Structure 1
Amino acid sequence: MSSTVSEFRLPDLGEGLTEAEIVRWLVAEGDRVRVDQPVVEVETAKAVVEVPTPYAGTVTVLHAAVARTVRVGEPLLSVARSSGEEGEGSGSVLVGYGTGATSGPRRHHRPRSRRPRGAGGAPAAIPAASAAPAASPATAASAATAASAATAASAAPAASAAPAASAAPAASAAPAASAASAAPAASAAAAPAAASAMAGGTAAAERPRVVSPLVRRLAREWGVDVRTVRGTGHAGLILRRDVERAAAEARLAAPAPPTETRPAAGLPAAGLPAAGLPAAGLPAAGLPTAGLPAAGVPEAGSRAAAAGLTGAASRAVAAGPGEERTALSPFRKAAAATFTRSRREIPEATIWVDVDATPLVAAREATPAGPGLLAYLARFTVAALHEFPVFNSRFDADRQEIVHLDRIDLGLAVQGDRGLVVPAIADAGTLTTSALDAEIRRVVDAARAGAATPAGTFTLNNYGVFDVDGSAAILVPPQVAMLGIGRIIDRPWVVGGAVTVRKVAQLSLVFDHRVCDGETAARFLRRIADAIENPAAAIAHL
């Protein structure tokens, strides 16, 4: 039995990503693999994802070592396929990048239509339009999964070569059907070929046009059925933003939890007086990261850690005497570029105020089963953003315009194994305190597990988990503001003319001075501070 060797190259993972770092191999040389089987785990600037192979066969070569950075289009592995092996191009990877050239002829193993025979058993004449290779079901399916016209052309050259008069274009089942029904006078000998093309085109049209493993994983984790998603990319390609929109719409369509006026929130209060906001498992902080990758990575002890990956520090390169150089991971490269751009472009300013959080802490302790402190702070923040919408906007430097956003996607800074990430609660402005508490738990867990999450329009940063009071933070475009809160600790405070011990924290606001003046920023920050110091009155007006 003859065999061919197919080279699987790193596919285009979407979102403009150009490279990925090998976290660990899920197969070894000599292993048997099937189509769509995950073969390698890679880290991009967005998330850690598993990449499936479009080939079935035996792995002959792994082309990249663990911790190596591979660019899109570079070889990942080679697969030896026998002549009877299942074909390539499943649609899980981007055809043209993931599906490299083979060393032997390409084979399609789907049933083919037999050429109709005329009287006497002689082969009937087949019109040139029907004979075009574009009518092949395999080619039609392959072209339908391509992300762009150029990619489709490279994946199925026959499709672009098909005459315009073809009764069954590769990219669409509808033209095939209309051509077959609208031309009854056409030769009956072309009917079997047209029917075969229509069946292949229909199968391609029904297959969701998702080529990015990152988008597929995002849809699975959010419970989005990609068959119901309308793609906004080229030729209906489903992009990350399409899945995010579908997930947000599904949450809005779900029954809203009952509105409550009592203090509430669900995060543990262990160590509360000393640590401020709930510590374990809550969003951590550091520098603001609204434009940073919107996904975390596996925690220590996860698959990445089990693979012995120690991050960028394990990849020191040659250096001069007394030096040690460390290559940046794709994640850190993205973060470095974002922070550099921020310092170069944004004239930021920071204001801060100490707040007496004693009433809020007391309310939280009185309802242990209710929402946590961070949920309350999130609720106060979105209420203030409704009142001061300029802080939920972005600045268009090219057009010198402030672009106001109609939805609040609240980002939460979370410290993961590979760095700071910012998952976001979609449409947080419509949620109750209890609903915010549940979403905080969900998005933080997802980020720490390495899942991709949408970017926010405003970020909330909890410095208290690091046992510090605050930070002169860095704004990350396109966001124009970020709120931070430090640890809540016992401090002397004057109440009614007498010094007493109170639970005190520091609130800080960093903002883009191009969108507003300090007076507006001060009123926004003071509105949140007043809600913390008098939560009962604030909740009554929410």
Structure 2
Amino acid sequence: MSEPKVFLLPDLGEGLTEAELVNWLVSVGDEIRVDQPIAEVETAKSVVEVPSPYAGTVTQLHGEPGQTLDVGKPLISVLPVGATAPAPVVETVETKPAETGAADTYREEEKAGSGNVLIGYGTPGGSGAARRTRAPRAVVSASSTDDKPVVAPDAQKAADDLLLLRTRVPGKLGAVISPLVRRMAREHGVDLGDIHGSGDSGLIMRKDVEAVIHPAVEVSAGSTTERPVVEPVETQWAVDSRTGLGISSRTPVKGVRKVVSANMSRSRSEIPEATVWVDVDATALVELRAGLKKSDPHNTPGLLAFIARFVTAGLKRFPDLNTRIETAADGSQEIVGFAGINLGFAAQTDRGLMVPSIRNADKLSARELDVEIRRLTAVVRDGKATPEELGSGTFTLNNYGVFGVDGSAAIINHPEVAILGVGRIIDKPWAVEGELAVRKVTELTLTFDHRVCDGGTAAGFLRFVADAIERPTSILADI
């Protein structure tokens, strides 16, 4: 008889301490192999598939979608191939009359089978692994032939399981997933059993509970009778004491937004930043690309790829901007330089702002940079970027011109020491050889860490990139 092996959530890179469980890829009772993906977790701005280090039968899933798990805590339990499952443990639970019905309903659902898997429970008919009905330690009595007490589960975990039973919709196992939805229903006295979920397979969503808490009404003309309306309206939970306004929503800061918030706050608190900017005549670069596109419509780099090439060339001449500051335990600091450039670039996605980095970008041509920019943009928008692709940059290029703005004092992507922003390219009046002309003009903005260099270095780098944009043909011939 063998005990299941417990796989702990590993550090998925960059010293992460937690991850949000997005989706299970296996169920209790499934036979899995070594390195088979078992779950998707969101961490460091990406959705990562976690592989199993064990082969065997899944006996327990230690979490549910939407839950934040700490690194080093149990993720999944697997009974090794060929091992014998432990004998079932009989635990007597003294339930209150009001709780017995819910527990019985749950057991009937378990016998019936379901594709949805809960913590510690699974679809019957799989591996035959032992299942246990958990209850608070105080109400579990010993039941064994040798009179040795049965070790009860952790009290808090048992309480969570009872909460699941109480909020489970009869006949719809797994119809309530989000802890936020269950808490909202509990706080407002909403019976989840009376709600038909609007999500997939009857999944009860937050908006379903809010609709019960604040039902919309419509008063017909000439009548005082109120009746429900079909069209959804904005709901309010409470009135804010400071502003006197109704609170329309509460959004937990987690996942991507949590990572961005922590990183930006650290950048502002630790880095004494300064900003320099310059307007640039980009007409020659726009015309160069237009000419290349005529001769090769399908293999012409985008403008951002050309600017990225100018940036890597500029960083070679001004390497202070391609560094990082490290602080030792005794408070001493070092400026760490790199033998290469990993160029990060900001990409907007449905899950927030991502900054993937092109590794060894200084060794790539404009065409090769364009290929990597397109590839990494697609990867992050699909949520499949690795921690290495998202956390290895040494300098960031931010094209905020795509949002239709001219300039921005960007926040440095910690632990880097500088970020270059590019505004939109628009027609503006410009003096050319003493004559006023309409030119394609953009604004470059460089925000830098004043601890690693002074304004002269920052201005020199910015002027180099600006000159390259204004005279791309001659610069490309030299880099």
TM-score range, shorter chain: 0.5 to 0.7
The alpha-carbon deviation at position 59 of structure 1 amounts to: 4.0
- In the aligned structure 1, how far is the partner of 2:453 from the partner of 2:206? 39
Contact 2:395/2:417 (8 A) holds in 1: yes
The alpha-carbon deviation at position 361 of structure 1 amounts to: 0.4
Go from structure 1 to structure 2 and tell me whether the alpha carbon gap of 1:24 and 1:538 turns closer, same or farther (over 3 Å shift).
same
| 2:434 paired residue among 480, 488, 497 | 497
Which runs of no fewer than 5 residues in structure 2 stay unpaired?
A: 86-128, 131-198, 211-235, 240-245
Go from structure 1 to structure 2 and tell me whether the alpha carbon gap of 1:13 and 1:381 turns closer, same or farther (over 3 Å shift).
closer
Contact 1:312/1:329 (8 A) holds in 2: no
- In the aligned structure 1, how far is the partner of 2:79 from the partner of 2:326? 51
Contact 2:358/2:373 (8 A) holds in 1: yes
The alpha-carbon deviation at position 506 of structure 1 amounts to: 0.8
Aligned residue pairs: how many?
323
Contact 2:267/2:415 (8 A) holds in 1: no
- In the aligned structure 2, how far is the partner of 1:314 from the partner of 1:511? 47
The alpha-carbon deviation at position 359 of structure 1 amounts to: 0.8
Partner of 1:519: 456
Partner of 2:52: 53
Partner of 1:297: none
Which runs of no fewer than 5 residues in structure 1 stay unpaired?
A: 87-102, 105-304
Paired residue secondary structure (2:66):
coil
The alpha-carbon deviation at position 510 of structure 1 amounts to: 0.6
- In the aligned structure 2, how far is the partner of 1:333 from the partner of 1:355? 36
The alpha-carbon deviation at position 410 of structure 1 amounts to: 1.3
Go from structure 1 to structure 2 and tell me whether the alpha carbon gap of 1:417 and 1:494 turns closer, same or farther (over 3 Å shift).
same
Partner of 1:42: 41
Is residue 432 from structure 1 mapped to residue 365 from structure 2 by the alignment? yes
Go from structure 1 to structure 2 and tell me whether the alpha carbon gap of 1:46 and 1:314 turns closer, same or farther (over 3 Å shift).
farther
| 2:403 paired residue among 452, 460, 466 | 466
Please say which of residues 416-425 and 528-537 is displaced more in the overlay: 416-425
The alpha-carbon deviation at position 331 of structure 1 amounts to: 3.2
Contact 1:393/1:402 (8 A) holds in 2: yes
Contact 1:393/1:479 (8 A) holds in 2: yes
Is residue 325 from structure 1 mapped to residue 258 from structure 2 by the alignment? no
Partner of 1:482: 419
Paired residue secondary structure (1:371):
coil
Partner of 2:477: 540
Deviation readout 1:145-178 (Å, 9 max, x if unpaired): xxxxxxxxxxxxxxxxxxxxxxxxxxxxxxxxxx
The alpha-carbon deviation at position 434 of structure 1 amounts to: 2.5
Is residue 33 from structure 1 mapped to residue 32 from structure 2 by the alignment? yes
Go from structure 1 to structure 2 and tell me whether the alpha carbon gap of 1:313 and 1:7 turns closer, same or farther (over 3 Å shift).
farther
Paired residue secondary structure (1:335):
helix
| 1:392 paired residue among 322, 338, 343 | 322
| 1:423 paired residue among 356, 377, 382 | 356
The alpha-carbon deviation at position 326 of structure 1 amounts to: 2.6
Go from structure 1 to structure 2 and tell me whether the alpha carbon gap of 1:429 and 1:80 turns closer, same or farther (over 3 Å shift).
closer
The alpha-carbon deviation at position 451 of structure 1 amounts to: 1.8
Deviation readout 1:167-191 (Å, 9 max, x if unpaired): xxxxxxxxxxxxxxxxxxxxxxxxx
Considering Cα pairs closer than 8 Å and 6+ residues apart, tell me whether 1 or 2 has the greater RCO: 1
Deviation readout 1:242-290 (Å, 9 max, x if unpaired): xxxxxxxxxxxxxxxxxxxxxxxxxxxxxxxxxxxxxxxxxxxxxxxxx
Output aligned runs, 1:252-267, within 5 Å. none
Contact 1:313/1:326 (8 A) holds in 2: no
Output aligned runs, 1:52-451, within 5 Å. 52-79=51-78, 83-84=82-83, 321=239, 322-323=246-247, 324-368=249-293, 369=296, 370-396=300-326, 398-449=331-382, 450-451=384-385
Paired residue secondary structure (2:301):
coil
- In the aligned structure 1, how far is the partner of 2:202 from the partner of 2:429? 48
What amino acid does structure 1 have at the position aligned with 2:455? G
What amino acid does structure 1 have at the position aligned with 2:385? A
TM-score normalised by structure 2 residue count? 0.60
Amino-acid identity (%): 55
Paired residue secondary structure (1:337):
helix
TM-score normalised by structure 1 residue count? 0.53
- In the aligned structure 2, how far is the partner of 1:16 from the partner of 1:307? 37
Deviation readout 1:105-154 (Å, 9 max, x if unpaired): xxxxxxxxxxxxxxxxxxxxxxxxxxxxxxxxxxxxxxxxxxxxxxxxxx
Go from structure 1 to structure 2 and tell me whether the alpha carbon gap of 1:14 and 1:518 turns closer, same or farther (over 3 Å shift).
closer
Contact 1:24/1:307 (8 A) holds in 2: no
Deviation readout 1:385-416 (Å, 9 max, x if unpaired): 12212111223454344333232221111223
- In the aligned structure 1, how far is the partner of 2:423 from the partner of 2:370? 19
What amino acid does structure 1 have at the position aligned with 2:314? A
- In the aligned structure 2, how far is the partner of 1:466 from the partner of 1:38? 37
Paired residue secondary structure (2:410):
coil
Go from structure 1 to structure 2 and tell me whether the alpha carbon gap of 1:493 and 1:35 turns closer, same or farther (over 3 Å shift).
same
Is residue 530 from structure 1 mapped to residue 461 from structure 2 by the alignment? no
- In the aligned structure 2, how far is the partner of 1:365 from the partner of 1:455? 33
